[in-house]
Amino acid sequence: MGFFSTVYQVCSGTTVFIQLMERRFLRAFLHFFLLVLLLCLILATGHSCIFAPTIRNVCGNLFEQIGGLRFSSSEGIRTLKTPLEKKSYLLDEKLRFDYCPGNTLKEEDIGKWSTPFGVLALDRGFLFWGENYADTGKGTFMMIPMAMDIRQAKDEKFQVGLSGKELREYAEKRFTLKKGEPLLLPERVETAAGLSAQLTVALWLVIFSASFVGIFGLGALIIFFFGVMQFFWSGIDERKLTFPKILVVLIYTSFPAMLIASLYSFFMIPVLSPQMVFFIAFFVYYIAVFRKIRNSLNPPRDTHPEDDF
């Protein structure tokens, strides 16, 4: 079976797992990786398309307040209105814009951020950030740096797992313009349409990256944990799967859970996080799958009256 056929089969019922448990681990892992990529593409594209009209609207409102953004080789990025004044705007309940000229960004400012995504405009460029809103990840940031200086841009890399202090230090070190330091930057004035397009692309990248780390990391952790548990849980007298086969079964067991959690993220209820929905769906399907496999490997014995003599 091909990739899409396999995804359809594992979501249709538990019978197919009798055949799937004989597959090689590397093939199952490849299917897992491909599904994670596919879901991340869908999530990033879907959520960014949902937010795109809002981004265009709020960028128009933002530029009415700041007058526009001017790029120069001597000063870097400056607002047309009050260019030396630090500004913060809540563009949407999930997106904020902060303008911090010079060395005006403080760690306490980052601690007050209350949106999952944001844009930080500094002397040398923009930092597009997303905060990990999982229960254990509050205050941990993923960041996409976008330097306006052509020489610096090629050296910037996606950052993961930054604390508020580390984000502030990174911004000061890499994106604050030192006195007398010129930038290789074309002189221009950014429009609301141009900024909204950049924000939409950056949002796509942040969602894709955050989704990949979240889905792949959570999936791998749950699969390994349940794999170890299942290996030592089977009865002594029962026929049981080898550990690699258990992992193969669990990889395919995670497919419906990943699909359900991804779909749920578009209609998310505050009471349950996508991570919790994934765990619940995985656990329910895990019980059904391994009950099917256990009955297949250990069919009930026929008892006859003469066996007692």
Domain ranges within the chain, ordered by starting residue: 15-46+208-296, 69-190
Mean pLDDT of the chain, nearest integer = 86
Q: Kindly indicate the confidence band of residue 283, based on its pLDDT and cuts at 50, 70 and 90.
A: very high
Q: What is the pLDDT of residues 187-236, one digit of tens each?
A: 888 888 887 888 788 889 888 988 998 899 999 999 999 999 888 875 54
More confident residue, 301 or 128: 128
- Give mean pLDDT, residues 283-288: 94
- Give mean pLDDT, residues 277-281: 94
- Give mean pLDDT, residues 28-46: 95
Question: CA distances (Å), 202 to each of 15, 44, 231, 289, in order?
Answer: 43, 10, 43, 40
pLDDT at 292 exceeding the cut of 50: yes
Nearby residues of 7 by Cβ (< 8 Å), 6 or more positions away: 31, 35, 255, 259
The pLDDT of residue 98 is 93
Q: What is the pLDDT of residues 68-93, one digit of tens each?
A: 889 888 889 999 999 999 999 887 78
Of the chain, the end-to-end C-alpha distance in Å amounts to 50
Token code pair at residue 118: 């944001």
pLDDT at 5 exceeding the cut of 70: yes
